[in-house]
């Protein structure tokens, strides 16, 4: 009987290149594949994607399955789930990694259902259990207040991984691998929905999810004008501005800046939380940040339990002083 072997990454494509999440999954997949002593493969499904295999090799893949078909040009559930099912049944990977993105959230559970296995969503750490070789999947639970580790004996072992939770390898363009072309074989009739139009949301500066530094403001900021001061610091640190829910509800900032359970999930190197209390719903969106710095006038605020560094004080005094110091240090 054929065995499930190897680690496979579903490599998303964005604007004609591998998406950042694909390079992150390849970095993590490489480590898991090496621990298992097995192969790392990537599936690139799309329209006009044949040239992307080289990128996947550079980021760590040993083998790339290319499914190039005009019907796969935009992500469309019926087509992409069908194609992924076909490739996975053919290759039988032990582990399948998918991004916790809007595409991955749609794809992973449907694929798991078709393959009669499980998918653990929104993982932030992955490891191999040395004894059983099962994938240990760590994910935040209870609104980010705790972490749980899941395993499943069903193959393939599917996990979706939060953006920025894993680090890509430094690309090595001299790395080579094997390209396998898979025919999509899609009948247009299986596709039940049509994309009529794509509207791209314009983001000024760096997007929240991509930023290495995020400065988030809460209810205590008090106004849209207050957020201009956060923007000033974000500009100096080449970061992005985020917010808790009240500033979005009060239209001080656009809704798209909300971080949390019902907002964006961010994992920058530095998260400066200004005048927000650190509710569990907010922390659900930023618990993966490497360093949290809190500015709050209430020493009992929950955010201080989550923060690496904290300043107790009125943000209207602390933030201008911090901004001036950053400006001074950058000028040196």
Which spans of this chain sit near ligand FAD (rule: CB under 6 A)?
A: 218-220, 244-246, 258-263, 275-277, 279, 281-282, 285, 296-298, 301, 314-316
CA distance 243 to 259: 6
Q: Which residue is nearest to ligand FAD (CB)?
A: 260
Is the CB of 82 or the CB of 287 nearer to ligand FAD? 287
CA distance 327 to 332: 9
Q: What are phi and psi of 63, to 5 degrees?
A: -140, 145
Is the CB of 50 or the CB of 207 nearer to ligand FAD? 207
CA distance 103 to 149: 24
Is the CB of 138 or the CB of 281 nearer to ligand FAD? 281
How many Cα atoms sit within 13 Å of 168 on the Cβ side?
Answer: 20
Is the CB of 177 or the CB of 226 nearer to ligand FAD? 226
Is the CB of 154 or the CB of 261 nearer to ligand FAD? 261
Greatest Cα-to-Cα distance within the chain, rounded to the nearest angstrom? 69
Q: Is-contact 104 81, C-beta < 8 A?
A: no
Q: What are phi and psi of 240, to 5 degrees?
A: -125, 155
Is the CB of 45 or the CB of 265 nearer to ligand FAD? 265
What is the sign of the dihedral through the CA atoms of 242, 269, 230 and 205? negative
Is the CB of 6 or the CB of 218 nearer to ligand FAD? 218
Is the CB of 53 or the CB of 301 nearer to ligand FAD? 301
How many Cα atoms sit within 13 Å of 157 on the Cβ side?
Answer: 23
């Amino acid at each position: 009987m054929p065995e499930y072997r190897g680690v496979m990454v579903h490599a998303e494509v964005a604007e004609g290149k591998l998406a950042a999440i694909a390079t992150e999954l390849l970095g993590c997949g490489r480590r898991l594949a090496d621990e298992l002593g097995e192969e790392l493969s990537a599936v690139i499904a799309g329209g006009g994607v044949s040239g992307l295999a080289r990128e996947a090799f550079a980021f760590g893949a040993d083998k790339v399955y290319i499914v190039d078909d005009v019907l796969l040009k935009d992500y469309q559930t019926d087509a992409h789930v069908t194609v992924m099912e076909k490739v996975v049944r053919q290759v039988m990977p032990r582990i399948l990694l998918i991004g916790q993105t809007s595409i991955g959230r749609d794809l992973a559970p449907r694929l798991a259902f078709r393959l009669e296995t499980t998918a653990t969503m929104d993982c932030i750490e992955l490891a191999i259990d040395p004894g059983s070789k099962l994938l240990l999947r760590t994910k935040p639970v209870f609104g980010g207040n705790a972490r749980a580790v899941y395993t499943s004996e069903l193959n393939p072992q599917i996990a979706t991984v939060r953006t920025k939770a894993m680090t890509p390898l430094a690309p090595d363009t001299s790395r080579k691998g094997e390209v396998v072309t898979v025919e999509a074989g899609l009948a247009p009739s299986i596709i039940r929905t049509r994309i009529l139009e794509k509207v791209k949301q314009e983001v000024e500066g760096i997007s929240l999810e991509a930023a290495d530094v995020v400065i988030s403001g809460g209810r205590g900021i008090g106004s849209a004008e207050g957020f201009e001061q956060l923007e000033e610091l974000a500009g100096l640190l080449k970061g992005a501005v985020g917010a808790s829910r009240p500033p979005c509800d009060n239209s001080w900032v656009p809704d798209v800046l909300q971080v949390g359970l019902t907002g964006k999930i961010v994992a920058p190197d530095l998260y400066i939380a200004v005048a927000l209390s650190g509710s569990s719903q907010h922390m659900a969106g930023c618990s993966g940040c490497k360093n949290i710095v809190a500015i709050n006038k209430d020493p009992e605020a929950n955010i201080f339990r989550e923060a690496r560094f904290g300043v107790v004080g009125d943000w209207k005094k602390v933030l201008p002083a911090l901004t001036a110091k950053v400006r001074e240090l950058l000028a040196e």
